[in-house]
Amino acid sequence: MEWQQLGSVDPMALALARTQAHWAAQVLSAAGETLLPHRKDTSHTAMRWDPALAALVGEALGDHDPCRVALRVHDLTLLLVDADGRAIARETLAGSTLAEARAWAASALDAHARGTGSLALVHPGYALPDHPLAVAGRFEVEPDALAELARWVANADRELRAFAARTPGAGPVLCWPHHFDLATLVVLRANAAGEATRTLGAGLSPGDESIAEPYWYVNSWDARRDPVDGRERLPALAAGEWFRGAWTGAVLRGSELVAAGGASAQRATLQAWLASATRATRSLLSSPSP
């Protein structure tokens, strides 16, 4: 799929859409938490982007006739997807509560497995910002904004897959339900037990408390020290900026990417930024401790 031009909806106007999608994705996270073996990195609760479905999709559930719970972003619809990638059940979330959404998914999974109807989906337990949907609020659908959000995610998935394919040590491109970012983690160094001790992360956030619009980021972690702690001289970037706040890293804000122009210009800007941000972050990680 080619890059889809961004900007038909102002990046700063996507807050409601991304919040609604984030909370809807908690249904997928709960299905993984309830039905899959738990992993230390919590990837059993994570999702992938399926371009054919234009949906975030959880891991396969069940050994016999496996299925997946998915969220079609552009219209906020839950799907039950069979092993062939076909949607065999669907539920539009407009007007529903989160509890009703979880109940629908549990019922659809149970019916697919020809079970007893006693399944209940359990949330992993991480904290999310306060929101009416956490209690009894009802999902709202903004079609134009959700469609734009889906374009952001689809573009990011394509570019991150290409980045991961050419980058040694890169892991799968996953959407993490806690922060709702789509990202790949590159292991740059590991200890004798195979545990990562130095990593680089690249991804797209749809926006959060730090930056209220979609933004690309490259950040890092080193078990031996804080690789970017405020005393280092930060290298120049092809675009974007260095962000310092609850975390530190290279950032390309959505508004800057949209301002680049048409689809090809946007993609070129993103690719140039990603290359420079990755080089800059690697150089910081390899520099002596201040």
Q: What is the pLDDT of residue 233?
A: 75
In this structure, are 122 and 148 located in the same domain?
A: no
Task: Assess if residue 74 is contained within a domain.
Answer: yes
- Sheet containing 87-92: give its strands across: 48-50, 55-57, 67-72, 77-82, 87-92
| Count of structural domains within the chain | 2
In this structure, are 114 and 152 located in the same domain?
A: no
In this structure, are 210 and 114 located in the same domain?
A: no
Q: What is the pLDDT of residue 232?
A: 61
Boundary residue ending a domain (87, 105, 134): 134
**How far apart are alpha carbons 250 and 278 in whole angstroms?**
9
In this structure, are 148 and 273 located in the same domain?
A: yes
Task: Assess if residue 23 is contained within a domain.
Answer: yes
In this structure, are 100 and 22 located in the same domain?
A: yes
Boundary residue ending a domain (134, 155, 186): 134
Question: What pTM was estimated for this model as a whole?
Answer: 0.95
Task: Assess if residue 6 is contained within a domain.
Answer: no
Task: Assess if residue 280 is contained within a domain.
Answer: yes
Q: What is the pLDDT of residue 116?
A: 59
In this structure, are 55 and 127 located in the same domain?
A: yes
pLDDT tens over the chain, length 290 residues = 799 999 999 999 999 999 999 999 999 999 999 999 999 999 999 999 999 999 999 999 988 899 999 999 999 999 999 999 999 999 999 999 999 999 999 999 999 987 756 689 999 999 999 999 999 999 999 999 999 999 999 999 999 999 999 999 999 999 999 999 999 999 999 999 989 999 999 999 999 999 999 999 999 998 876 656 555 678 999 999 999 888 889 999 999 999 999 999 999 999 999 999 999 999 988 876 55
Q: What is the pLDDT of residue 246?
A: 81
Contacts 24+ apart (CB under 8 A), 61-64: 61/31, 61/32, 61/35, 61/36, 61/109, 62/35, 62/112, 62/113
Q: What is the pLDDT of residue 164?
A: 98
In this structure, are 210 and 230 located in the same domain?
A: yes
Please spell the DSSP secondary structure of 52-113, one letter per residue: TTTEEE---B-SSS-EEEEEEGGGTEEEEEETTS-EEEEEE-TT-BHHHHHHHHHHHHHHHT
In this structure, are 51 and 124 located in the same domain?
A: yes
**How far apart are alpha carbons 237 and 241 in whole angstroms?**
7
In this structure, are 160 and 282 located in the same domain?
A: yes
Structural domain that includes position 245: 143-286
**Tokens representing 153?**
């995610």
Q: What is the pLDDT of residue 231?
A: 53
Task: Assess if residue 2 is contained within a domain.
Answer: no
Q: What is the pLDDT of residue 227?
A: 56
In this structure, are 26 and 90 located in the same domain?
A: yes
Length of the chain counted residue by residue: 290
Q: Which helix (H) or strand (E) holds 145?
A: helix 143-166
Q: What is the pLDDT of residue 224?
A: 79
Task: Assess if residue 4 is contained within a domain.
Answer: no
Q: How far apart are the first and last CA of the chain?
A: 44
Q: What is the pLDDT of residue 216?
A: 98
In this structure, are 90 and 184 located in the same domain?
A: no
Boundary residue ending a domain (134, 158, 177): 134
**How far apart are alpha carbons 32 and 68 in whole angstroms?**
9
In this structure, are 225 and 260 located in the same domain?
A: yes
